[in-house]
Amino acid sequence: MRHFTQELEQLNQLLLEMGGLVEVAIHRSVHSLVDRDKAPAEQVMRDEARINELEMRVDSTATRLLALQQPVARDLRFLTAVLKINTDLERMGDLAVNIAERALSLLAAPPVKPMIDIPQMANLVQAMLLKSLDAFVNSDEQLARSVLLSDDQVDQFRDTIYSELVEYMQKEPSVVRAAVDLIFVARNLERIGDHATNIAEDVVFYVKGIDVRHHAEKIS
Amino acid sequence: MRHFTQELEQLNQLLLEMGGLVEVAIHRSVHSLVDRDKAPAEQVMRDEARINELEMRVDSTATRLLALQQPVARDLRFLTAVLKINTDLERMGDLAVNIAERALSLLAAPPVKPMIDIPQMANLVQAMLLKSLDAFVNSDEQLARSVLLSDDQVDQFRDTIYSELVEYMQKEPSVVRAAVDLIFVARNLERIGDHATNIAEDVVFYVKGIDVRHHAEKIS
């Protein structure tokens, strides 16, 4: 039993290492975009392999423990939460790579406009990820629920950024390509927020045993 | 043991029901887009709840069997494949909803141009999903591997559609909004293709015990 507890702790450490790498990747991709600096974006590309490697290790370790240890109650919920959070983190890593690619593509042309909303939206979704992982580490249900409340704010940013960029494109055909890149960046940030929300929902389930996905609380 | 086999079979049926619903949702969302008919898109919105409900049932059933039955070898790989395919199918359902939303948004304006590439790209990714699920049902490794080969073709469609739509927007500002919708449709189709690829990779792992994600075959 002590051995199992140690394995769970190791798994926890692996997942947090992955979470840290994903946080850094998102930060670097946005930094590259906002400061028009290609070095951080290139670093994001190089670090992707390590994130993918961790995903596979977390996945195989969690599945093995599930199958061999017959965990129940909280340990079972911990392992299923790890499996889900692992998938979300890996996708967030992919999204950081997408943003890094758009940042590099944007360096080929002059800036469309001063960036205000995109850095703010990026700060918001980065805070969501940080909080959802802290909530997991500390089994903090309230903190996890606070992440769920940021969803509307993310959507507002996305809509504002979209409308503004469409207007720019309509006025000035030469910015079309760059503006489409920025619309995709906003979409990628929105999806990073969605994955942080998924993690927060998994934390609530892990701590309380309540499924809050798809508004299951309301239905059942 | 007979009971466990029956439960695995029931789980298989649930997953295939979900796969069928997702196939229909993708088909309807594209139909709505291409034929400028809002009824199928609205049906896709209504059917989303059922897909989400199935996702939660598959998820809880597979996790319970993993934890309580201590499956090994092929049964273990079957259950982990089911968990992963389940997540991919649910995301594909979301992507069909996204396409349906874009289809409805596009009905508000005259058509940008005759649609040729998007329906062809849609046919390709729908065939990928069909094949990956058939490969799962029949444990057909060769069929699963054939899905992996379609990836490049999907990317080619995405690039062609993107370049063409950027050109349209640059020439004619009035089509910007509709063209951005279509770029997102192509992106959603590309992601449906990615999820079909994920499923095909899971089938190879399930049948052969080889992990082909992230080119793990080459690394290890």
Residue A70 with chain B: CB contacts under 8 Å: 67-68, 70
Tokens of A75: 């340990």
Tokens of B2: 């007979």
The residue of B50, B176, B185 whose CB has the most chain A CBs within 10 angstroms, and thus the best one to mutate to test that interface, is B176
Asked if residue B1 has pLDDT above 90, the reply is no
Which amino acid would we find at residue A82?
A: V
Q: Tell me whether residues B67 and A70 touch, CB distance under 8 A.
A: yes
Find the domain containing A153 and state its range. 2-219
A56 lies within 8 A of chain B by CB? yes
User: pLDDT for B59-77, tens place per residue?
Assistant: 989 988 887 887 877 888 8
A76 lies within 8 A of chain B by CB? yes
Q: Tell me whether residues A214 and B80 touch, CB distance under 8 A.
A: no
For B187, which residue in chain A has the nearest alpha carbon?
A: A184
Distance CA B77, CA A66 (A): 12
Distances (CA, A) of B146 to B95, B132, B200: 23, 9, 9
pLDDT for B218 equals 46
Q: Whole-model pTM?
A: 0.87
The residue of A76, A158, A168, A214 whose CB has the most chain B CBs within 10 angstroms, and thus the best one to mutate to test that interface, is A214
Residues 6+ apart with CB under 8 A from B208: B141
CB pairs under 8 A between A and B: 67
Average pLDDT (A49-78) is 88
Predicted ipTM of the assembly? 0.79
B166 lies within 8 A of chain A by CB? yes
pLDDT for A212 equals 64
How many separate helices (H) and strands (E) can be counted in chain B?
8, 0
DSSP B60-120: HHHHHHHHHH---HHHHHHHHHHHHHHHHHHHHHHHHHHHHHHHHHHTTS--SS--SHHHH
Number of domains within chain A: 1
Q: Which among A53, A76, A216 has CB closest to B56?
A: A216
Q: Tell me whether residues A76 and B67 touch, CB distance under 8 A.
A: yes
Which amino acid would we find at residue B190?
A: E
Q: Tell me whether residues B72 and A71 touch, CB distance under 8 A.
A: no
Burial A185-210 (b: 16+ CB within 10 A, else e): bbbbbbbbbbbbbbbbbbbbbbbeee
B73 lies within 8 A of chain A by CB? no
Distance CA A81, CA A84 (A): 5
Residue with tokens 């409340």: A149
Residues B103, B33 contacting (CB under 8 angstroms): yes
For B76, which residue in chain A has the nearest alpha carbon?
A: A67
Asked if residue A213 has pLDDT above 70, the reply is no
Q: Tell me whether residues B68 and A68 touch, CB distance under 8 A.
A: no
3-state secondary structure of B195: helix
Q: Which among A67, A174, A177 has CB closest to B66?
A: A67
Which amino acid would we find at residue A128?
A: M
User: Which CATH number belongs to the domain containing residue B209 in this structure?
Assistant: 1.20.58.220
Asked if residue B220 has pLDDT above 50, the reply is no
B170 lies within 8 A of chain A by CB? yes
User: pLDDT for A88-128, tens place per residue?
Assistant: 999 999 999 999 999 999 998 888 877 889 999 999 999 99
Chain A, window 195-214: residues with a beta carbon less than 8 angstroms from a chain B beta carbon = 211, 213-214
Q: Tell me whether residues A216 and B66 touch, CB distance under 8 A.
A: no
Burial B164-187 (b: 16+ CB within 10 A, else e): bbbebbbeeeebbbbbbbbbbbbb
User: pLDDT for B157-211, tens place per residue?
Assistant: 999 999 999 999 999 999 999 999 999 999 999 999 999 999 999 999 899 886 6
Average pLDDT (B88-111) is 95
